Amino acid sequence: MIQDIPGTEIEKKSFEIIDREAGDHGFDPLTWPVVRRMIHASADFSIMDNLVFKDDPVTAGIRALREGVSIVTDSTMLKSGLSVARLKRIHPVYGEGNIFCNIADPGVAEAAKAAGRARSVFNMRSLKEKIDGGIVGIGNAPTALVEICRLAREEGILPSLLIAMPVGFVNVVESKAMALALPCPLILMRGRRGGTTFVVAALNAIAVQALESMEAAA
């Protein structure tokens, strides 16, 4: 039977169902809201077994958002999925931009063509000053994640939070193994699985917690 639930209550009801069906999941109070929102976005409880939270990434993400650091994404879809309205409430700089993806930039396309390499590499390379100390979300291209690892290794550029969930069959597992070795806070989905939807959900969940922490301190 279809339940007649007000639109404003659907998400709350969904979270209650997820909490109940997840049972004793073992995630702490900071990481569970992130995992729960990812489950909400996918209706897939099996992702719980594939997630890695390294170096207290949720706390790092909350702090970074409250400081107004740059956010860099590997796709315009990921950038578009972030709640700018919520981010602006956390820090006004997000109302002025400060969320970056140059994948469609003509200069990036030209550089990639000249080098015979993927645009995702030059998207990251063109934004390395934003990546350093920023938040980086990778939900599509393993080549972008490999470039993040190269920037860290060769140029000392590290994000304050890396969400690494590229998806596919070529260099996906390998790029995630490289990311696990980085000395920065990390949320990662093991194996071939991943995708923009998961990264959007994770970032939005962290933004919710950042806003809640501000409201509680007010």
Strands 99-100 and 161-164, how do they pair? unpaired
Structural domain includes residue 6: no
Structural domain includes residue 42: yes
Q: What is the DSSP letter of 191?
A: S
Structural domain includes residue 2: no
Give the pLDDT band (50/70/90) at residue 7. Answer: low
Q: Is the pLDDT of residue 8 over 90?
A: no
In tens, the pLDDT along 91-119 reads 999 988 899 999 999 999 999 999 999 99
Helix, strand, or coil (residue 115): helix
Helix, strand, or coil (residue 181): coil
Q: Is the pLDDT of residue 204 over 80?
A: yes
Rounded to the nearest 5°, which phi and psi values hold at 138? -120, 110
Average pLDDT over residues 195-199: 97
Q: Is the pLDDT of residue 4 over 80?
A: no
Structural domain includes residue 15: no
Give the C-alpha separation, 163 to 152, whole Å: 15
CATH of the domain at 169: 3.40.50.10230
Q: Confirm if 152 and 175 have CB atoms less than 8 A apart.
A: no
Q: What is the DSSP letter of 116?
A: T
Per-residue model confidence (pLDDT) at position 96 = 82
Q: Is the pLDDT of residue 190 over 80?
A: yes
Look up 91 and say whether it is catalytic.
no
In tens, the pLDDT along 65-90 reads 999 999 999 999 999 999 999 999 99
Q: Is the pLDDT of residue 2 over 80?
A: no
Structural domain includes residue 91: yes
Structural domain includes residue 208: yes
Q: Containing domain of residue 47, as a range?
A: 30-217
Residue of 40, 63, 150, 190 with catalytic role: 40
Structural domain includes residue 9: no
Instruction: Please name which of 121, 195, 186 lies closest in space to residue 165, comparing C-alpha atoms.
Output: 195
Give the C-alpha separation, 72 to 76, whole Å: 10
Structurally, the chain folds into a number of domains equal to 1
Q: What is the DSSP letter of 72?
A: E
Structural domain includes residue 7: no
The token pair that represents 9 in the structure block: 């209550």
Average pLDDT, the chain: 95
Average pLDDT over residues 131-154: 97
Q: Is the pLDDT of residue 11 over 70?
A: yes
Burial of 160 per CB tally in 10 Å (0-12, 13-18, 19+): buried
The model's pTM: 0.94
